[in-house]
């Protein structure tokens, strides 16, 4: 089987690494990939949003399965285009991708199919948004302002008071998040612990993956600015067996009912960001792709043949799949460029990659590139160092041991990944 993976982050490196171990896998291409992916796949320099070039490449190279990593091509309709051309693809169609592409659409979907979520209202006028905030923040610990559209992990302002919330609205309407902020959601602040539940679906069957939790804030103790994710671990102890069953029934099964009723062609991953509140689990957001860095921790524990699982998902045979998991937890620590999630440097030489790999941890690359024969930084999140262990503490110790071998000027990482589980 020849596989094309689309994307260039740590998630895509993990996908290539895991797919490569598949029994029938002959060759993996990755568009556009990165310096680490180049060790596991042949990188092809086509951008993720050049759908036509990607489809032509898949046709010309006789690709048997295309796996779409990021949300942008999914929201642009890559799965529709590939299927029209008779190409097997892992990813939802454009109508399904709208669950991530528009938070307002996603909210309506949740309401319609009885999926618990934060109360919210959507606005296209600044004054109406202001008035709603003023009326709804009284006596509350805060309120959340969200740009409706795709904002690359930005676009969510968790405001502690009225002033911060109004400023968030200003940011949206002044174009800080581009077109994504032309419509704005104001949402009830949910209190609790977060977990990520990812599930495979082919539109007929839904199959949850192992639970995980990521660390979105830049600073230790979950402080500071939101990032794409500074580390993750799997499983998340907050997701007990009983809670997992509740999420399956009240979130995932209802999601699948909605997919069927709305006639979405959903063959891929649904990612439910969950807040475990005192009133039970509530959905913070849906994503229509693997999480990054959740994927690194989750797939390190998967013992099944991912290529076979993804092909069966793409060809509507997911009912034949039973997933096997390692009982050992896994921890992924993200190393980022200094300054991230603000402005950061690029082009710094990364030292110690071989020494880190020799410890047995796996070094997944995100923002890396090859320059004059050396691997250099070229993004905010640079590496995701991932390890398994007999328990979370040992997995974290192994990951941090490998992290300690790696250095570049300004490298930054959180020292407390998985602390909530320890």
Q: Give the residues lining the site for ligand GLY (CB under 6 A).
A: 214, 229, 287, 291-292, 294
Partner whose footprint covers residue 291, from ligand AMP, ligand GLY, none (CB < 5 to 8 Å by kind):
ligand GLY
Nearer to ligand GLY, 136 or 296 (CB): 296
Looking at the DSSP bridge assignments, the partners of residue 85 are none
Q: What angle, 0 to 180 degrees and rounded to 10, lies between the N-to-C axes of helices 103-112 and 94-101? A: 100
Residue 331 dihedral angles phi and psi, to the nearest 5°: -130, 135
Kindly state whether residue 80 participates in binding ligand AMP, applying the rule CB under 6 A: no
The CA distance from 314 to 68, in Å, is 11
Looking at the DSSP bridge assignments, the partners of residue 325 are 302
Kindly state whether residue 118 participates in binding ligand AMP, applying the rule CB under 6 A: yes
For 353, the enclosing helix (H) or strand (E) is: helix 353-358
Buried b (16+ CB within 10 A) or exposed e, 343-358: ebeeebebbbbeebee
Tokens representing 339 are 């300054």
Q: Please list every residue from 170 through 209 that binds ligand AMP, using CB under 6 A.
A: 187-190, 194
Partner whose footprint covers residue 294, from ligand AMP, ligand GLY, none (CB < 5 to 8 Å by kind):
ligand GLY
Looking at the DSSP bridge assignments, the partners of residue 324 are none
The residue within the footprint of ligand AMP, chosen from 13, 216, 254, 301 (CB under 6 A), is 216
β-pairing, 330-336 vs 231-234, is antiparallel
The residue within the footprint of ligand AMP, chosen from 273, 281, 329, 367 (CB under 6 A), is 273
Nearer to ligand AMP, 190 or 306 (CB): 190
Quick check: helix, strand or coil at residue 40? coil
Kindly state whether residue 156 participates in binding ligand AMP, applying the rule CB under 6 A: yes
**Smallest gap, in angstroms, from Cβ of residue 294 to ligand GLY?**
6
The CA distance from 137 to 115, in Å, is 24
Partner whose footprint covers residue 35, from ligand GLY, ligand AMP, none (CB < 5 to 8 Å by kind):
none
Partner whose footprint covers residue 71, from ligand GLY, ligand AMP, none (CB < 5 to 8 Å by kind):
none
Which residues contact ligand AMP (rule: CB under 6 A)? 118, 144, 156, 158, 187-190, 194, 216, 273, 284-285
């Amino acid at each position: 089987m020849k596989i094309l993976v689309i994307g260039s982050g740590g998630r895509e490196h993990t996908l290539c690494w895991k797919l490569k171990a598949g029994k029938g896998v002959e060759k993996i291409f990755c568009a556009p990939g990165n310096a680490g992916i180049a060790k596991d796949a042949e990188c092809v320099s086509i951008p993720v949003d050049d759908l036509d070039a990607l489809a032509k490449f898949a046709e010309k190279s006789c690709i048997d399965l295309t796996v779409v990593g990021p949300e942008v091509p999914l929201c642009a309709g890559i799965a529709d285009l590939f299927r029209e051309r008779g190409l097997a693809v892992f990813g939802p169609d454009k109508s399904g991708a709208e669950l991530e592409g528009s938070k307002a659409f996603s909210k309506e979907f949740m309401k319609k199919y009885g999926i618990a979520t934060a109360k919210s209202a959507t606005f296209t006028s600044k004054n109406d948004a202001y008035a709603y905030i003023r009326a709804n923040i009284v006596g509350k610990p805060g309120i959340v302002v969200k740009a409706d559209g795709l904002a690359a992990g930005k676009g969510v302002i968790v405001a502690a008071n009225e002033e911060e919330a109004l400023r968030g609205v200003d940011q949206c309407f002044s174009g800080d998040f581009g077109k994504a902020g032309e419509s704005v959601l104001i949402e009830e602040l949910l209190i609790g612990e977060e977990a990520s539940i990812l599930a495979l679906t082919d539109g007929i069957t839904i199959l949850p993956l192992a639970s995980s939790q990521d660390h979105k804030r830049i600073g230790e103790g979950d402080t500071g600015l939101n990032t794409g994710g500074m580390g993750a671990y799997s499983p998340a102890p907050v997701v007990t067996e009983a809670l997992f069953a509740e999420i399956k029934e009240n979130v995932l099964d209802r999601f699948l009912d909605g997919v069927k009723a709305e006639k979405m062609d959903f063959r891929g991953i649904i990612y439910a960001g969950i807040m475990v509140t005192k009133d039970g689990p509530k959905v913070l957001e849906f994503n229509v792709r693997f999480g990054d860095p959740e994927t690194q921790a989750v797939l390190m524990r998967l013992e099944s043949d991912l290529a076979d699982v993804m092909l069966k998902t793409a060809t509507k045979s997911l009912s034949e799949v039973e997933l096997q998991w390692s009982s050992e937890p896994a921890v992924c620590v993200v190393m980022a460029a200094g300054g991230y999630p603000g402005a950061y440097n690029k082009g710094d030489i990364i030292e110690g990659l071989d020494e880190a790999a020799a410890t047995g941890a796996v070094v997944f690359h995100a923002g890396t590139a090859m320059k004059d024969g050396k691997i250099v930084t070229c993004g905010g999140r640079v590496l995701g160092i991932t390890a398994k262990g007999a328990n979370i503490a040992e997995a974290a110790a192994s990951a941090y041991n490998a992290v300690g071998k790696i250095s570049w000027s300004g490298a930054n990482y959180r020292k407390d990944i998985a602390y909530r589980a320890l």
